[in-house]
Amino acid sequence: MTAKILDGKAFAARVREQVAAGVARLKADHGVTPGLAVVLVGEDPASEVYVRNKGKQTLACGMASFEHKLAAETSEAELLALIDRLNADPAVHGILVQLPLPDHLNEDLVINAIAPEKDVDGFHISNVGLLATGQKAMVPCTPLGCLMMLREEHGSLSGLNAVVVGRSNIVGKPMAQLLLRDSCTVTIAHSRTREIEALCRQADILVAAVGRPEMVTGDWIKPGATVIDVGINRIETPEGGTRLVGDVDFASAAQVAGAITPVPGGVGPMTIACLLANTLTACCRSNDIPEPEGLTA
Ligand code: GUN
């Protein structure tokens, strides 16, 4: 069998079109322009690329973009003061503090200082709790993108066995919550899981989010399963260059799976598209305007 390739790049472009249409409607009917503020502390090159892309895509779909670049030695008090100002600013509907933060800053404290209704990353403990209890939450962008792709592929996910490999707060745990909410039977596997290969072979849906290059191979996969690869790892090639690979060994996995996301071009592009979707959702909720269909969990 050769798996169907799930094209995240094309899917993300469709989500961005939907967001742009929603933004145009908000402007025309309600005179409101959604605004996203992104805060970057320090000079991590990968984070700078992400933030630049976020800014460009925010503007491209008609939203306002506010970038705050702070020096690596910014104090916690200074960062918290900026977050307070953004919380109070009516032009800002979404706030994202790029992670990781420099070591002297307490990430939990900083994230939990964001007003929950503006927490477009869905990392605030209020949003984590709302998601876990099945209430209306802001949902983390990468798991939301994975869910959209799974729903598109399967329609209903009800009753399917889902295994999420990885237990991070950003992907693994919220992914498991979302799958549970869609009535999957969910298992979270991690570095201490026993007989992880056999466990993964039970999965109708296998989500790999561990950050270990090509860890999941074809023999871990149930024939016909849908495989979502969240990993983005840069590895060295024998020729002395580098290349991007996922947490799944694509070549062997694609022989067994029914459908699979590639790296690059799979889940990656969905993350920023869902960030834009979350900003539109946050803007609608704060103005008591009905949210567009299909852009939330
Ligand atoms: N760093 C890597 N991924 C993310 C993300 O989704 N949100 C934030 N805030 N920082 C990140």
Query: What's the whole-model pTM score?
Result: 0.97
Let me know if 121 is a catalytic residue: yes
Q: Is the pLDDT assigned to residue 7 strictly greater than 90?
A: yes
pLDDT for position 125: 98
- Which is the closest atom of ligand 1 to the Cα of 140? 6
Rounded mean pLDDT of 53-81?
Answer: 98
Let me know if 69 is a catalytic residue: no
- Which is the closest atom of ligand 1 to the Cα of 100? 1
Same domain, 161 and 89: no
CATH number of the structural domain spanning residue 160: 3.40.50.720
Let me know if 177 is a catalytic residue: no
Same domain, 36 and 156: no
Q: Which of 57, 98, 173, 177 is catalytic?
A: 98
pLDDT for position 157: 98
Kindly state the helix (H) or strand (E) to which residue 37 belongs, with its residue range.
Answer: strand 35-41
* pLDDT top residue among 1 and 103: 103
Rounded mean pLDDT of 229-257?
Answer: 97
Q: Which of 18, 57, 119, 121 is catalytic?
A: 121
Number of structural domains (the chain) is: 2
How far apart CA 60 and CA 259 sit, in angstroms, is: 31
Residue having the nearest C-alpha atom to atom 3 of ligand 1: 99
Q: Is the pLDDT assigned to residue 111 strictly greater than 90?
A: yes
Looking at 90, 121, 152, which one is the last position of a domain? 121
pLDDT digits (tens, 9 = 90+) for 150-164: 999 999 999 999 999
pLDDT digits (tens, 9 = 90+) for 11-65: 999 999 999 999 999 999 999 999 999 999 999 998 999 999 999 999 999 999 9
Q: What are the residues whose beta carbons fall under 8 Å from the beta carbon of 159, sequence distance 6 or more?
A: 183, 184, 185
Any domain includes 70: yes
Contact 95, 119 (CB under 8 A): yes
pLDDT for position 74: 98
How far apart CA 189 and CA 122 sit, in angstroms, is: 22
β-strands 94-97, 161-165 pairing: unpaired
97 lines ligand 1 (CB under 6 A): yes
pLDDT digits (tens, 9 = 90+) for 185-208: 999 999 999 999 999 999 999 999
Q: Which of 18, 54, 118, 119 is catalytic?
A: 54
Any domain includes 130: no
Same domain, 146 and 179: yes
Pocket perturbation via mutation, ligand 1, pick of 53, 54, 121 by most ligand atoms within 8 A of CB: 121
Q: Which domain holds residue 237?
A: 141-269
Q: Is the pLDDT assigned to residue 121 strictly greater than 90?
A: yes
How far apart CA 270 and CA 249 sit, in angstroms, is: 21
Any domain includes 292: no
Q: Is the pLDDT assigned to residue 1 strictly greater than 80?
A: no
98 lines ligand 1 (CB under 6 A): yes
15 lines ligand 1 (CB under 6 A): no
